[in-house]
Amino acid sequence: MRKHWWVTVGANLVMGVPGVVPVFLLWYMAVNGPLAELGWTVREPTENDGMLLWLVPVVAAFVLLWWLANDFLRRWNTAAARVYWPVCALVTLVPSVTLMAPL
């Protein structure tokens, strides 16, 4: 059973590397949109709201590939679904959180 977790964790870490792009895009949109409206951040003065057209396909493609890969790997993992899916999501976010962490 442990061997299958290592395969799952490894696959999600690898998928997390290109996953940095959609995470950054979502964060950028949040910082310049709703968080700026609430006064929690400062809007980027050069943002022209032209990202939404390609943001949706990038995020949708990543989520689809992530879900398909984890659905395939789920067949060999004996963990309950309520454990498996959150662990996969958190492991996928590790590269993004690592890059965002202050040095």
Yes or no: say if 7 and 51 are a contact pair by the CB < 8 Å rule.
no
Let me know: does 28 contact 59? Beta carbons within 8 Å.
no
CB contact at 8 A, 25 and 51: yes
Domain limits of the chain? 2-100
pLDDT tens-digit series, residues 77-102: 888 899 999 999 999 999 999 999 87
Alpha-carbon distance 45 to 23, whole Å? 21
pTM of the model: 0.84
Q: Which of 11, 22, 13 has its CA nearest to residue 62? A: 22
Which pLDDT value is given to residue 40? 93
